[in-house]
Structure 1
Amino acid sequence: MKPTFKQVTKTRYVEQIAQLAEEIFVQHYTKLTPKVARALAQTYQSDLLTDEQIHSGAINYFLVYLGSEAVGYFALDLSPAGAVCLSRLFLLEKARGQGIGRSVVSYAQKLAEGDGRSRLYLKVWAKDLKAEEFCKKCRFRKSEVVPTEVLPGVTLDLATWEKLWR
């Protein structure tokens, strides 16, 4: 089944992203405790923060659907000059490995190209081997790794992966 994307503008969908984030972060960040993973979701993907980001005009959120079921979300940060940052891409475990992420990357690249931008990039946890494999499959190249404090006392190495064209 081919995924569809719905741009998030209404409060009920913003709340749905926050709920999905808690579930996905616990599934995804398995090297962290579920409590820390939930804290990450509440810190970086609360409904208030997501709503604020949407209304800033620089970040657009999208829900990812398979049929009528929301199975994940992504966000595109349009503020970097000449680039688009795929600032979020999270899928429920059951939706992974079906080509949905590659569809999101293709969609983001088409939007970037249509807007005259020549770079698409994303940042992932450097120790996430599945994310690294995904980036390589999508023909991104690693450009840097930076230690980043994501919560007080919790530092993760974040790798930037980029695609350039033109």
Structure 2
Amino acid sequence: MALDVVIRPARAADEHEILELHRSAWSRLSEPGPKRPADAAVFDERHPVENFLVAEDGRRIVGYIAQSPASPMESNRHVRHVQGLAVLESARGGGIGRALVEAACAAARAGGARRMTLRVLGHNEPAQQLYRRCGFAVVGVLPEEFLLDGAYVDDVWMSRSLSDSHEPAQS
């Protein structure tokens, strides 16, 4: 990761920049839903600002990750779920995605979580490789869960323990 990139908690003032990053990173490789409108809210009741971390290069946000409780049930409070991850295309390949995932896992662990989960489209091999390097493993696949541009795409569920010390594999 570039030395001048800092991972920090998001602030309400970051909302527009996060939305622009999300919109610029949107593709059918990573998103089953439509592209968000330019005036869409990022932060809301289901996606509060405190669930976001950003990667900042100088004064520009080059990546973000959002995580939340996996469900509202008290019996499931020990599990956190990655709701979204994006890195500016020009900043990819420098370890920012990995740093964001590791920072989100560390924050979840500090908050008492024992497990982190996520979902990734079956054809998004670059994201799956990133998550595997961060210690995630496939725990289930929903075959042909999405129909995207005329092709059926699997929904891959991945998970990682946060209770064990995890040293990410070297790339």
Normalising by structure 1, we get a TM-score of 0.75
Tell me which of 145, 159, 165 is aligned to 2:156. 159
Counterpart code for 2:54? L
> Structure 2: which 5+ residue stretches go unaligned?
72-76, 165-171
Q: Percent identity?
A: 21
AA partner of residue 22 (structure 1): R
**Does the alignment pair 1:72 with 2:63?**
yes
Structure-1 separation of matches of 2:84 and 2:50: 10
Instruction: Tell me the matched-pair count.
Output: 153
Structure-2 residue corresponding to 1:25: 26
In the alignment, the residues of structure 2 paired with residue 30 and residue 140 of structure 1 have an alpha-carbon distance, to the nearest angstrom, of 19
Q: Where in structure 1 do 4 or more consecutive aligned residues deviate above 6 Å?
A: none
Note closer, same or farther for the CA distance 1:141–1:92 as it changes in structure 2 (3 Å cut). Answer: same
RMSD: 3.0
SS in 1 for 2:112: coil
Amino acid at match of 2:36: Q
Please identify, of 77-86 and 131-140, the stretch whose mean Cα deviation from structure 2 is larger: 77-86
1:4 aligns with 6
**Does structure 2 retain, via aligned residues, the 8 Å contact 1:15–1:47?**
no
Query: Which ranges of structure 1 fall in alignment gaps of 5 or more residues?
Result: 32-36
Higher helix share: 1
1:34 match: none
Q: What's the offset of the Cα at 1:63?
A: 2.6
The answer to whether the 8 Å contact 1:125/1:156 transfers is yes
The counterpart of 1:82, out of the listed 78, 83, 90, is 78
Aligned counterpart, 2:169: none
Shift of 1:161: 1.1
Question: Within 5 A, what are the aligned runs for 1:1-166?
Answer: 1-2=2-3, 3-10=5-12, 12-26=13-27, 29=28, 40-42=34-36, 47-48=40-41, 50-53=42-45, 57=48, 60-80=51-71, 81-146=77-142, 147-149=144-146, 156-164=153-161, 165-166=163-164
Contact 2:65 2:83 in 1 (8 A): yes
Distance apart, 1:155 and its partner CA: 6.2
Confirm or deny: 8 A CA contact 2:67 2:84 kept in the other structure. Answer: yes
